[in-house]
């Protein structure tokens, strides 16, 4: 019995250590972000979800959520917040909407095909979650924080895409495409490198 407990403790310690390393890498990747041509430049694409997804596939959805949480907390400590933590909470929820469906589907049958299905499901879920969070929470909060009307964000979107005329079309033509693009790019990177990284994560 003691040996089984010892083995479990060592296994848990290894998972925690791996989550810590992956979170640190994810936080570092958050520093390298850039805007996309079809969305206002306050939407920045980064690749911090890549290590989070690698951990999700290798260690399970719970480890993925832990990695996402630690990543957000480290960034919160290092860079602070302008939204009283609401923006960070929303980003955590959006990130989890991506990794949880992908991780749960992949866990059922760990194959390349299932990984693709899971990543597609996660990408769609992130697009939906991102739309709701931006429409009902993030954009209204940013409007209050920066003392600018929501219409100011709409005008920034309209300068890039004339089809954007109000908050709904802003979400539809800027936020949703942004998250779909992010999901596709991040998923492609994970599919390319997971098999090479997997032995290290399972070691």
49-57 average pLDDT score: 96
- Residue 134 pLDDT greater than 60, yes or no: yes
**Alpha-carbon 156 to chain mean position:** 24
- Residue 185 pLDDT greater than 60, yes or no: yes
Residues 6+ apart with CB under 8 A from 86: 137, 138, 141
CATH number at 2-202: 1.10.1760.20
What global pTM score does this model have?
Answer: 0.90
At 83, the pLDDT band (50, 70, 90 cuts) reads confident
How far apart CA 112 and CA 124 sit, in angstroms, is 19
Closest CA to 178 of 98, 101, 72: 98
**Alpha-helix runs per DSSP H in the chain:** 2-30, 49-59, 61-79, 86-108, 112-133, 139-145, 150-160, 167-170, 176-202
Site of tokens 């760990």: 110
Q: How wide is the angle at C-alpha 129 spanned by C-alphas 123 and 131, nearest 5°?
A: 105
At 79, the pLDDT band (50, 70, 90 cuts) reads confident
Residue of higher predicted confidence among 8 and 85: 85
- Residue 82 is given by DSSP the state S
Contacts 24+ apart (CB under 8 A), 82-89: 82/145, 82/146, 83/141, 83/142, 83/145, 86/137, 86/138, 86/141, 87/138, 87/141, 87/142
According to the per-residue pLDDT averaged within each range, which of 2-11, 96-105, 148-157 is highest? 96-105
């Amino acid at each position: 019995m003691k040996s089984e407990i010892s083995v479990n403790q060592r296994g848990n310690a290894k998972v925690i250590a791996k989550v810590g390393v992956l979170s640190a890498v994810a936080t570092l990747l958050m520093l390298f972000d850039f805007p996309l041509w079809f969305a206002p430049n306050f939407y920045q694409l980064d690749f911090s979800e890549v290590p989070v997804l690698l951990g999700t596939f290798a260690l399970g959805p719970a480890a993925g959520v832990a990695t996402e949480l630690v990543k957000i907390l480290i960034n919160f400590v290092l860079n602070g917040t302008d939204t009283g933590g609401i923006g960070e909470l929303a980003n955590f929820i959006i990130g989890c909407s991506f990794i949880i469906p992908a991780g749960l589907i992949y866990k059922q049958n760990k194959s390349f095909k299932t990984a693709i299905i899971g990543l597609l499901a996660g990408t769609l879920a992130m697009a939906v979650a991102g739309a709701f969070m931006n429409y009902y929470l993030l954009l209204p909060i940013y409007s209050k924080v920066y003392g600018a009307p929501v219409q100011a964000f709409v005008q920034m979107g309209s300068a890039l895409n004339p089809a954007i005329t109000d908050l709904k079309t802003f979400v539809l033509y800027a936020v949703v495409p942004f998250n779909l693009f992010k999901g596709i790019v991040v998923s492609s990177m994970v599919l390319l490198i997971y098999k090479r990284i997997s032995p290290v994560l399972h070691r």
